[in-house]
């Protein structure tokens, strides 16, 4: 198993096992913490479907030239894993585990299957990635769409830019307090993110 797959696999098992041990009411409470983020993701998803799905399917998925899914080591935050597993069915989690355990099936992200991404709620970095070519094709003709996208980029910070308490930091802290540690916990091990937290006077 590659180091990337190993750290993904460890994070998936850690989250899956800990969530399975929580009471239903505690899982519901965690879900309620994520509600605003999921509404944001829904809005972004609708926007992308409306404006980019035809371009992305044609240019990337059909001919397998995708820039966003072609990297083996796409960045995933620990909280991406938590949110995804919190909302995934058992059979979806098994597929994620199989994907990382079987390694990369060639030239794409380990999570890219024949039917698309295996994540139910894919990592935020993937969701917010638009290649230059697709941006130019859509935004050059639609100023309102460009403005909307810029608005979404600002909103994204509410969840993962730690100059204030943010969901992605909160979920990591939740697992750290329960005794877990992962290299994907960037809000607690990335010098850049920790500096932002420190400047904002947040607990490191
Ligand atoms: S996690 Fe999903 S969306 Fe992100 S690069 Fe991999 S297959 Fe693509």
The answer to whether residue 168 sits within a structural domain is: no
| Global pTM value | 0.92
Give the position, in ligand 1's atom list, of the atom nearest the Cα of 70. 5
User: At CA 19, angle to CA 17 and CA 20, rounded to 5?
Assistant: 65
Testing ligand 1's pocket by substitution, the residue of 116, 122, 184 carrying the most ligand atoms inside 8 A of its CB is: 122
The answer to whether residue 184 sits within a structural domain is: no
Structural domain total, the chain: 1
pLDDT (tens digit per residue) in 94-119 = 999 999 998 765 667 889 888 888 99
Q: Does the pLDDT value for residue 65 go beyond 60?
A: no
Give the domain range for residue 7: 3-162
Q: Which pLDDT belongs to residue 59?
A: 60
The answer to whether residue 202 sits within a structural domain is: no
C-alpha span between 96 and 109 (Å, rounded): 12
CB neighbourhood size of 111 (10 A): 21
The answer to whether residue 195 sits within a structural domain is: no
State the maximum Cα–Cα separation within the chain, in Å, rounded to a whole number: 51
- Looking at the DSSP assignment, which residues form a beta bridge with residue 112? 117
Q: Does the pLDDT value for residue 131 go beyond 90?
A: no
The structure tokens 């509600």 sit at: 35
The answer to whether residue 97 sits within a structural domain is: yes
Testing ligand 1's pocket by substitution, the residue of 95, 96, 111 carrying the most ligand atoms inside 8 A of its CB is: 111
Q: Does the pLDDT value for residue 203 go beyond 80?
A: no
Helix (H) or strand (E) holding 143: helix 143-160
The answer to whether residue 96 sits within a structural domain is: yes
- At 141, the pLDDT band (50, 70, 90 cuts) reads confident
Q: 83 near 122, Cβ under 8 Å?
A: no
Tell me the CA end-to-end span of the chain in Å, nearest whole number: 32
The answer to whether residue 170 sits within a structural domain is: no
The answer to whether residue 181 sits within a structural domain is: no
Distance 23 CA to ligand 1 centre (A): 30
Give the position, in ligand 1's atom list, of the atom nearest the Cα of 127. 3
pLDDT (tens digit per residue) in 162-191 = 999 999 999 999 999 999 999 999 999 999
């Amino acid at each position: 198993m590659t180091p990337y797959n190993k750290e993904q696999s460890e994070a998936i098992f850690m989250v899956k096992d800990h969530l399975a041990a929580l009471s239903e009411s505690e899982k519901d409470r965690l879900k309620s913490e994520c509600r605003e983020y999921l509404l944001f993701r829904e809005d972004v998803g609708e926007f992308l479907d409306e404006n980019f799905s035809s371009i992305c399917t044609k240019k990337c998925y059909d001919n397998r030239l995708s820039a966003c899914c072609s990297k083996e080591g796409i960045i995933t935050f620990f909280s991406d894993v938590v949110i995804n597993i919190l909302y995934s069915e058992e059979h979806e989690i098994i597929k994620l585990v199989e994907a990382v355990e079987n390694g990369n099936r060639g030239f794409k992200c380990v999570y890219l299957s024949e039917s698309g991404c295996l994540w139910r709620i894919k990592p935020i970095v993937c969701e917010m990635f638009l290649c230059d070519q697709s941006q130019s094709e859509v935004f050059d003709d639609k100023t309102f769409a460009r403005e909307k996208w810029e608005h979404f980029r600002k909103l994204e910070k509410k969840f993962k830019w730690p100059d204030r308490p943010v969901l992605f930091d909160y979920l990591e802290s939740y697992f750290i307090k329960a005794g877990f540690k992962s290299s994907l916990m960037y809000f607690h091990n990335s010098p850049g993110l920790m500096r932002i937290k420190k400047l904002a006077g947040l607990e490191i």
